[in-house]
Amino acid sequence: MVKLLGAMLQGSLVSLEIFFLTLVFALPLALPVALGRMSASRLLRVPVNLYILVMRGTPLILQILFVYFAPYYLFEASYDRFTAVIVAFTINYAAYFAEIYRGGIQSIAKGQYEAAKVLGFTRADTFFRIVLPQVVKRILPASANEVITLVKDTALAQTIGVAELFRVAQNASARQFSTTPIFVAGVFYFVMNWAVSELFLRAERKLEYYS
């Protein structure tokens, strides 16, 4: 039992690594994607639209397989599985976050931009100092959904053989002819997401000082 828990903690570390690295890359990447989606230029808008359509329209599991195997079939080049997982998760989650950002940005009243313009703020100052802080407050609940889904989606990394939590649990389960390890894994995911929910609640509370 102690050995099992040790292995599962190891697996959790891999899951957490996927989780944090995906957030580190996807959260910032989503911003230019959202702006591209709203761009006045068709040249920018159309490809960004297509990207979001594909990312949201196909299974993440397939995207992981594609990202890992496509370079192999095309150039006979193989690379690290873990890197492939991070790339696939990042481009997938950036698409979802971008749409959340877009919703937030478009919900900011036109009057905020007009007031900023009349006061002489540059476009960058208007966006980063006036619009974005208000967007953050509005998108917190929707982002919490997405981040919680990400915790659970890390289980898909096993598709290309990355030994994350669920894979470890399944292996143990097969060895022991018992479903217990899988339920233990369930508890692990639950605890992680409980922490995520708590963090988001705290962030929301911190921004409650204005409406």
Partner 1 sequence: MDVVTVDHLSKSFGDLRVLTDISFSVHQGEVLAIIGPSGSGKSTLLRAVTHLETASSGSISICGTRILDRGVYADKATLRSALLKLGLVFQDFNLFPHFSVLRNITEAQVRVLGRGKAEAREVALALLEKMGLTGKAGAYPCELSGGQKQRVSIARALALDPQVLFFDEPTSALDPELTGEILKVMRALAAEKMTMVVVTHEMGFAREVADRAMLMDGGVIVEEGPARELIDNPRNERTRAFLRRFSQNGPT
CA distance 6 to 13: 11
Give whichever of 80 and 114 is closer to partner 1, judged by the CB atom: 114
- Rounded Cα distance between 165 and 11, Å, is 4
Q: How many CB atoms lie within 10 A of CB 53?
A: 11
H/E segment holding residue 120: none
The distance of closest approach from Cβ of residue 126 to partner 1 in the complex, given in angstroms and rounded to an integer, is: 10
Binding part of the chain for partner 1, among 28-36, 85-93, 108-116, 185-193 by CB under 8 A, reads 108-116
Give least dist CB 103 to partner 1, A.
18
Q: Which two tokens stand for residue 15?
A: 């899951």
List the x/- string, 118-157, binding to partner 1 by CB under 8 A: xxxxx--x---xx--xx--x--------------------
Q: How far is the CB of 79 from partner 1 (least distance, A)?
A: 44
Q: What is the nearest approach in angstroms of partner 1 to the Cβ of residue 7? A: 47
Return d(Cα 19, Cα 204) in angstroms, integer.
Answer: 21
* Residue nearer to partner 1 on the CB measure, 55 or 116: 116
Whether the Cβ atoms of residue 181 and residue 8 lie closer than 8 Å to each other? yes
Stretch that binds partner 1, among 20-28, 35-43, 113-121, 158-166 (CB under 8 A): 113-121
Which of 1, 57, 75, 211 binds partner 1 (CB under 8 A)? It is 211
Q: Is 209 near partner 1 (CB under 8 A)?
A: yes
Per the CB < 8 A criterion, the answer to whether 165 and 188 are in contact is: yes
Q: How far apart are CA 169 and CA 190, in angstroms?
A: 15
Compute the least distance from the CB of residue 127 to partner 1, in Å: 13
From residue 180, alpha-carbon distances to 177, 185, 197 in Å are 9, 9, 26
Residues near partner 1 (CB under 8 A):
109, 111-112, 114-115, 117-122, 125, 129-130, 133-134, 137, 209-211
